[in-house]
């Protein structure tokens, strides 16, 4: 048990040192070279987006006709969505009940796992 404490303490110390070291690096801020490199990178990205050609209305129409021809060839039919009646309140109690039962089930499962883990831990400490 003593070696476990030593290992845990050493591991914790390493984690704390890493967190402090990374925090000081962040607090120092970026160097001027890093800022310049970021600026150049963003300018290059902006230039590449500016150079991209925008589709013309004719190209968009041609793409639409091409996709329609592909849909006809493969027998894809337009998707019909069922019409929704406006007589309901808009709240689906069935779906809410399913969600509530799922949440309750997860809570029961989580509490069962916690109780089981606690019992196993007590047995190991007692034995």
**Percent composition of the chain: helix, strand, coil (DSSP 3-state, to 5):** 80, 0, 20
pLDDT tens profile 64-123:
999 999 988 888 666 677 666 656 677 888 999 999 999 999 999 999 999 999 999 988
Q: Enumerate residues 6+ apart whose C-beta is below 8 A from 38.
A: 30
Q: What is the pTM of this model?
A: 0.31
Output the six-digit token pair for 66: 């091409």
Q: Which of 32, 33, 12, 15 is nearest to 23 (CA)?
A: 15
pLDDT tens profile 32-71:
999 999 999 999 999 998 888 888 899 999 999 999 999 8
């Amino acid at each position: 048990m003593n070696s476990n404490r030593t290992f845990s303490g050493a591991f914790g110390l390493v984690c704390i040192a890493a967190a402090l070291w990374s925090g000081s690096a962040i607090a120092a801020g970026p160097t001027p070279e890093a800022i310049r490199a970021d600026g150049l990178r963003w300018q290059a990205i902006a230039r590449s987006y500016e150079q991209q050609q925008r589709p013309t209305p004719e190209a968009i129409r041609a793409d639409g006709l091409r996709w329609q021809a592909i849909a006809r060839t493969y027998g894809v039919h337009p998707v019909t969505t069922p019409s929704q009646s406006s007589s309901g309140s808009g709240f689906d109690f069935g779906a809410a009940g399913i969600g509530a039962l799922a949440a309750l089930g997860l809570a029961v499962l989580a509490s069962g796992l916690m109780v089981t883990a606690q019992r196993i831990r007590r047995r190991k400490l007692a034995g």
